[in-house]
Copies of this chain bind each other. A is one copy, B any other.
Amino acid sequence: MTRKPVSERTIRRLSHYSRCLRLAKSRGESVMTSNRLAAACTISSAAVRKDLSSFGEFGRKGSGYDVDGLLASIEDILGVADPPGVVIVGAGNMGRALIASGLSGSSGYRVRAVFDSDPAMIGREIGGLRVEPVDALSRILRELGEVIAVLAVGRGGGQAALDRVAAAGCRAVLSFNLEPMKVPEGVCLRFVEVSTELDILTHALRSPR
């Protein structure tokens, strides 16, 4: 079982493929082709085949890919077959939106706990979850085991939240706060950059074509 490093670009595409496959599966489709996957992801079919073939021979020449089999293979590559739990830090609008949307995706992630530092928030129920005080982070994360923490806290609260989840043993963090942060050793931190997406769209609007 020799795992070669997979580029982030590739992982992103695999994630997209898996979404498409889950959708096809839910529609009862049992076979998928590189062409249809490509159309759904707006890339070329050759790119899809290259991605997939670099991990093994998942397809049947002449017919295509088995939806269930390919989905299982991709989930195995990504490591999301049995996804880690998710905890949300910050029970404001963004935290609530993430819980309500089921993490805006058809993937298997589930929100296991919500934390907030505002005493007035503690104890409230959101989507079946009781809002916990941030002081409970260590205890609850120990109970939950491996989790991804999503930071959806107020302006300027990012670093403190990051430090706390890291101290509680969390090694993967997704932040909606864009303040620059000092990343604790051993922690993988990523950002959801809405403002950057807006910049990209603005550039598209304003550039000649």
Which residues from chain A sit less than 8 Å from chain B, CB to CB? 3, 5-6, 8, 11-12, 14-16, 18-20, 23, 40, 78-80, 83-84, 86, 92-94, 96-98, 100-101, 103-107, 109, 146, 148, 152, 155, 171-174, 176-178, 180, 188, 190, 192-208
Kindly state the separation between the CA atoms of A199 and B104 in the bound complex, as whole angstroms: 13
Kindly state the separation between the CA atoms of A198 and B94 in the bound complex, as whole angstroms: 16
From A18, which residue of chain B is reached at the shortest CB distance? B199
The contact sample of 9 A-B pairs, CB cut-off 8 A, is A6-B203, A79-B202, A80-B202, A93-B101, A94-B104, A103-B194, A105-B198, A106-B195, A188-B205
Given contacts A12-B200, A104-B192, A172-B205, 10 further A-B contacts (CB under 8 A): A11-B199, A23-B180, A78-B199, A78-B203, A104-B194, A148-B201, A172-B201, A172-B202, A172-B204, A190-B197
Q: Which residues of B contact A171 (CB under 8 A)?
A: 205
Does the CB pair B97–A15 fall under 8 Å? no
Nearest Cβ distance between residue A145 and chain B, in whole angstroms?
11
Nearest Cβ distance between residue A194 and chain B, in whole angstroms?
5
Q: Which residues of B contact A12 (CB under 8 A)?
A: 193, 196, 200
Q: Which residues of B contact A193 (CB under 8 A)?
A: 12, 15-16, 105
Kindly state the separation between the CA atoms of A103 and B98 in the bound complex, as whole angstroms: 16
Q: Which residues of B contact A173 (CB under 8 A)?
A: 201
Nearest Cβ distance between residue A120 and chain B, in whole angstroms?
16
Q: Which residues of B contact A79 (CB under 8 A)?
A: 202-203, 205-207
Q: Which residues of B contact A109 (CB under 8 A)?
A: 195, 198
Q: Which residues of B contact A40 (CB under 8 A)?
A: 180
Kindly state the separation between the CA atoms of A102 and B80 in the bound complex, as whole angstroms: 33
Q: Which residues of B contact A197 (CB under 8 A)?
A: 174, 190, 192
Q: Which residues of B contact A194 (CB under 8 A)?
A: 98, 103-105, 174, 192
